[in-house]
């Protein structure tokens, strides 16, 4: 799995609640059999006009947010479908961390599997980051997984929770399947008991 450790980046704001995975990557782009090739279609219906030209009214199209690796969103980010194409698309669009007050469960798991760090902060902290990102340009935060903090140069210092197992997997870029296969004996003995019953 791709590692995540620490990053300092411009913050792109998407001030909407309940951004669902149908918005992040619409269904017509789910037919690919690869994990790549989704980035240009992220937020497709919001991002492009009918003729395929970038929609100037969509905030993530603004010049000042180009190159951002951190996205700050509204509550319940990533609700809806289980499509892992959503984090794949966001990663390819350049994002490595998403900050919000809450995430949908399946989306959050999917992000963790792809080195895209979902960061849950309090409402006032997210509001602060959102307001600073919306104001002017070049607003940056540092997301540090090791210390579990988000900081900026205007005095913000916020900490977040992360499951210790997931944290370690992200820091080390570990292979989840490989870790589980190392517990093969436990799976074997569970299956023996199970077969006796079923």
Partner 1 sequence: MAKTMFEKIWEQHIVAEPEDQPALIYIDLHLVHEVTSPQAFEALRITNRKVRRPDLTISTVDHNLPTDDTRNEVIKDPIARVQVDTLRQNCEDTGVVLYDIDSEAQGIVHVIGPEQGYTQPGMTIVCGDSHTSTHGAFGSLAFGIGTSEVEHVLATQTLRQAKPKTMEIRFNGELKQGVTAKDMILAAIGKMGTAGGTGYVVEYTGGAIKKLDMAGRMTVCNMTIEAGARAGLIAPDDTTFDWMRGRKFVPKGDDFDAVVAEWRELASDDDAEYDELLEIDCDELEPYVSWGTNPGQVARVTDSVPSPDDYEDPADVSSAERALEYMGLSGGTAIEDIEIDRVFIGSCTNARIEDLRSASQIVKGHMIASTVRAQIMPGSTLTKLQAEKEGLDEIFKGAGFEWRESGCSMCLGMNPDILVPGERCASTSNRNFEGRQGKGGRTHLVSPEMAAAAAIEGHFVDVRDWDSE
The residues of the shown chain that bind partner 1, judged by CB under 8 A, are: 15-18, 20, 22-23, 26-28, 30-35, 45, 74-76, 79-84, 87, 102-106, 109-110, 113-114, 163-165, 175-177, 180-181, 183, 186-187, 190-191, 194
Which of residues 18 and 61 has its CB atom nearest to partner 1 in the complex? 18
In the complex, the smallest distance separating the C-beta of residue 11 from partner 1, rounded to whole angstroms, is 19
In the complex, the smallest distance separating the C-beta of residue 77 from partner 1, rounded to whole angstroms, is 10
In the complex, the smallest distance separating the C-beta of residue 155 from partner 1, rounded to whole angstroms, is 24
Which of residues 3 and 165 has its CB atom nearest to partner 1 in the complex? 165
**Virtual CA dihedral for 98, 101, 105, 108, nearest 10 degrees?**
10
Distance CA 66, CA 75 (A): 23
The DSSP line for 83-148 is -THHHHHHHHHT-SEEEES-B-HHHHHHHHTTT-EEEE--HHHHHHHHHHHHSSS--EEEEETTTT
In the complex, the smallest distance separating the C-beta of residue 196 from partner 1, rounded to whole angstroms, is 13
């Amino acid at each position: 799995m791709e590692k995540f450790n620490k990053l300092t980046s411009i913050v792109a704001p998407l001030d909407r609640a309940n951004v669902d995975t149908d918005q992040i990557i619409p269904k017509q782009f789910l037919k690919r059999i690869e994990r790549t090739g989704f980035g240009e279609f992220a937020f497709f219906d919001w991002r492009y006009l009918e003729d395929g030209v970038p929609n100037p009214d969509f905030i993530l199209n603004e010049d000042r947010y180009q190159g951002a690796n951190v996205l700050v969103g509204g509550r319940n980010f990533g609700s809806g479908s289980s499509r892992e194409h959503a984090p794949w698309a966001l990663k390819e669009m350049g994002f490595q961390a998403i900050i919000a007050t809450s995430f949908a469960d399946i989306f959050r798991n999917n992000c963790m599997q792809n080195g895209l760090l979902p960061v849950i902060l309090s409402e006032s902290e997210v509001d602060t980051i959102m307001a600073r990102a919306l104001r002017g340009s070049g607003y940056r935060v540092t997301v540090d997984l090791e210390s579990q903090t988000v900081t900026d140069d205007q005095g913000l210092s916020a900490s977040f929770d992360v499951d210790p197992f997931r944290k370690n997997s992200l820091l080390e870029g570990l292979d989840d399947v490989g870790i589980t296969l190392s517990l093969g004996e436990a799976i074997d003995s569970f299956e023996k008991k199970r077969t006796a019953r079923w």
